[in-house]
Amino acid sequence: MTPASWLPTDRTPYFAVAVLGFAFGGFFDGILLHQVLQWHHFLSLVAGEPFQHIEVQILADGLFHLAIWVIAFGAHVLLWRRGQDRPADRLLLAWSVLGFSIWQFFDVVLVHWVIGIHRTRVGVSNPLLWDLGWLATFGLTTLIIGLWLLTGSEWNGKNGRRVAGLISGCIIISALATILPTRGGSSSVVLFHSEMNAAQTFAVAASVDADILWSDPSGRVLVVNVPNRMGTWRLYTQGALLVANTTALGCLSLARS
């Protein structure tokens, strides 16, 4: 069974429910994190005096929700055009859940890490850990559920359970592997405590004989090659909040084969 067989020639309803799930992810994010918990607003980390006013932040949240509403409305229009001609409910649910998962990764990777206009929780000393925790709780779990629904809808019996288990297991193992100490010679991303400066983080890297491959302007995020596993553990004792293995996701390519 190939991934292409999960979708027939007419892919409109699948795309529509994936977009709808994506929109549900946006609403879940905005309502829970912006309004209920108030961990951040959409433009929390945008520099400039005008953006410090709560009225501007609330307006940005409202415009964000309006944009998500437009996306959800478009998905409903696509579904409405299909009438009663649609796939099985399990497939629709699978793609909706996958769309929800896609939002979580899209939001954290692009908005939080690349653009940097907010984080899962603003004002804490280790925002990356909150981002990773959010991804593990709502991104990874829904990805596994969506893949299980998708594969279970077409693959029956022992073979289907084996493939679904392989995909889910690889995702879990890969996620755990990213936060485990790496073997010597493999590259790692190291996040240091917010109170440390570049001189201090470079000195820590030198103390474990690590080769520095890249650094962000603050010096708090380094990509390094650590010669041995013990050196990776020592990073944690000298101010590192997270040491992530950059080569841990190879299992996913196995699951797709």
172 and 79 fall within a common domain: yes
131 and 242 fall within a common domain: no
Q: What is the CATH number of the domain that holds 237?
A: 3.30.70
- How much is the average pLDDT of 169-195? 58
Are 202 and 186 in contact by the 8 Å Cβ rule? The answer is no
Residue 202: pLDDT band (50, 70, 90) is: very high
Which neighbouring-strand residues pair with 187? Answer: 225
157 and 234 fall within a common domain: no
Instruction: Give the tens place of pLDDT for each residue, 30-60.
Output: 988 988 888 998 998 888 888 888 889 999 9
94 and 147 fall within a common domain: yes
Output the six-digit token pair for 109: 């990777």
pLDDT over 80 at 22, yes or no: yes
Higher pLDDT: 231 or 93? It is: 93
Nearest-angstrom CA–CA distance, 212 and 226: 9
CA distances from residue 168 to 114, 171, 251 in whole angstroms, order as listed: 27, 5, 11
- How much is the average pLDDT of 123-127? 85
Are 61 and 41 in contact by the 8 Å Cβ rule? The answer is yes
Query: What is the model's pLDDT at position 87?
Result: 58
111 and 35 fall within a common domain: yes
Where is 149: in which H helix or E strand? helix 141-154
| Residue 234 belongs to domain spanning | 187-247
Percent of the chain scoring above 70 in pLDDT: 73
Nearest-angstrom CA–CA distance, 137 and 26: 15
Last residue of a domain, one of 124, 155, 177: 177
Query: What is the model's pLDDT at position 173?
Result: 46
Distant-in-sequence, close-in-space partners of 247: CB < 8 Å, separation ≥ 6: 182, 186, 187
Instruction: Give the tens place of pLDDT for each residue, 217-251.
Output: 888 888 888 887 677 778 878 888 777 665 443 44
Query: What is the model's pLDDT at position 85?
Result: 56
Output the six-digit token pair for 131: 């981002």
Query: What is the model's pLDDT at position 2?
Result: 47
Burial class (CB in 10 A: 0-12, 13-18, 19+), 98: buried
Instruction: Give the tens place of pLDDT for each residue, 97-123.
Output: 999 999 999 999 999 888 889 999 998
240 and 122 fall within a common domain: no
